């Protein structure tokens, strides 16, 4: 048995030509993982669409309805930054289903990775910054509702603060939100996570990894989660169009190994999502995202999951 990886062809929905959101990366990531043997016939899992009841564990029913039917106010639609289409609704929902499935697989096998997810700027009644429904928040509440987990730790290392996630769980002691992000980046107004670690612009591999090491291990022993969600955004990379940090490919791989080893060696299961990443050179970007799955495949063998 190899590392469980979750993918669905509907992770890609057409966008207008030249749109700055690199939608095609999801299918290219799947192709690269297949080509490099990280995904084979026996470790790829296909998600189902989530129930509206699951989405509404986090989001307001009128927002879910208006978005799904394409009747959201134009201003609210613009804040999301992606033009509405029925295909995008499908894409949004199947990616949420993907993170729910990833979480269930992580509980069963100790570690699992989605090839999408990390829509952490989605708030209960509105979307923002390319995020429509908050996949990790929905998956967390869904697994709690099913009685599969009680305590959850969200480790959000996307370069942008996980503001929607922080807001959703601000009064919920069963979910601990940890966000390490570039201070001077989007969103302009930050929310309060249970632990925020703001970073200065231009931080490099060693500075970043040292800072992370100061928090993660202690957090695990403090929170003692039944499940860790890991948002492995690669917009921390030096060549990212929207990030302002200076991690290299090697730094990102070391980060993924550090997060996974710290959690797995202490016996905590991890459900990973890919998070943000923006570049004109799409193949470099896809490779950066694949570092998560490469590290996870190695960790899966190392810890004999």
Applying CB under 5 A, the residues found at the interface with Zn ion are 158, 160, 233, 235, 276
Closer CB to Zn ion, residue 205 or residue 231?
231
Which is closer to Zn ion, CB of 117 or CB of 233? 233
* Closest separation in Å from C-beta 163 to Zn ion: 11
Q: How far is the CB of 100 from Zn ion (least distance, A)?
A: 21
Residues 22, 201: Cα–Cα separation, whole Å: 24
CB of 85 to Zn ion, least distance (A): 23
Between CA 109 and CA 100 the distance in angstroms is 14
Written in H, E and C, the secondary structure of the chain is CCCCEECCHHHCCCCCCCCCCCCCHHHHHHHHHHHCCCCCCCCEECCCCCCHHHHCCCCCHHHHHHHHHCCCCHHHHHHHCCCCCHHHHHHHHHHHHHHHHHHHHHHHHCEEEECCCCCCCCCCCCCECCECCCHHHHHHHHHHHCCCCCCEEEEECCCCCCHHHHHHCCCCCCEEEEEEEECCCCCCCCCCCCEEEEECCCCEHHHHHHHHHCCHHHHHHHHCCCEEEEECCCCCECCCCCCCCEECHHHHHHHHHHHHHHHHHCCCCEEEECCCCCCCCHHHHHHHHHHHHHHHHHHHHHCCC
Give min distance, CB of 233 to Zn ion, in A: 5
Nearer to Zn ion, 163 or 194 (CB): 163
Q: Output 29 or 44, the one with its CB closest to Zn ion.
A: 29
Question: In the complex with Zn ion, which residue's Cβ is closer, 98 or 243?
Answer: 243
Shortest separation between residue 207's beta carbon and Zn ion, angstroms: 19
Residue 58 or 159: the one with the smaller Cβ distance to Zn ion is: 159
Which residue lies nearer to Zn ion by CB, 22 or 276?
276
Nearest approach, Cβ of 198 to Zn ion (angstroms)?
Answer: 14
Backbone φ and ψ of 46, nearest 5°: -110, 125
Q: Which is nearer to Zn ion, 163 or 235 (CB)?
A: 235
Q: How far is the CB of 203 from Zn ion (least distance, A)?
A: 15
Q: How far is the CB of 35 from Zn ion (least distance, A)?
A: 26
Q: Which residue is nearest to Zn ion (CB)?
A: 276
The answer to whether the beta carbons of residues 137 and 131 sit under 8 Å apart is: no
């Amino acid at each position: 048995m190899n590392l469980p990886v979750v993918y669905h062809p509907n992770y890609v929905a057409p966008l207008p030509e030249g749109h700055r959101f690199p939608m095609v990366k999801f299918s290219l990531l799947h192709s690269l993982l297949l080509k490099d043997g990280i995904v084979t016939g026996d470790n790829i899992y296909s998600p189902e669409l989530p129930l509206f009841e699951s989405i509404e564990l986090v989001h307001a029913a009128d927002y879910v309805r208006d978005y799904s039917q394409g009747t959201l106010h134009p201003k609210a639609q613009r804040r999301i930054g992606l033009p509405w289409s029925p295909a995008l609704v499908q894409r949004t929902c199947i990616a949420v289903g993907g993170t729910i499935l990833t979480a269930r697989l992580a509980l069963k096998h100790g570690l699992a990775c989605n090839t999408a997810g990390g829509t952490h700027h989605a708030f209960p009644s509105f979307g923002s910054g390319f995020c429509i429904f908050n996949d990790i928040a929905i998956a967390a509440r869904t697994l709690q509702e099913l009685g599969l987990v009680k305590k959850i730790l969200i480790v959000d290392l996307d370069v942008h603060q996980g503001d929607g996630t922080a807001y959703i769980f601000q009064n919920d002691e069963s979910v601990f939100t940890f966000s390490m992000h570039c201070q001077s980046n989007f969103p302009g107004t930050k929310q309060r996570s249970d632990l925020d670690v703001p970073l200065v612009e231009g931080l490099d591999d060693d500075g970043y990894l040292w800072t992370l090491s100061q928090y993660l291990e202690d957090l695990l022993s403090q929170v003692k989660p039944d499940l860790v969600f890991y948002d492995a955004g690669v917009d921390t990379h030096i060549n990212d169009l929207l990030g302002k940090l200076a991690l290299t490919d090697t730094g990102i791989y070391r980060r993924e190994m550090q997060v996974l080893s710290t959690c797995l060696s202490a016996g905590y299961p991890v459900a990973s999502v890919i998070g943000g990443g923006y570049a004109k050179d799409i193949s470099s970007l896809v490779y950066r995202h694949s570092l998560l799955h490469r590290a996870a495949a190695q960790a899966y063998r190392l810890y004999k999951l």
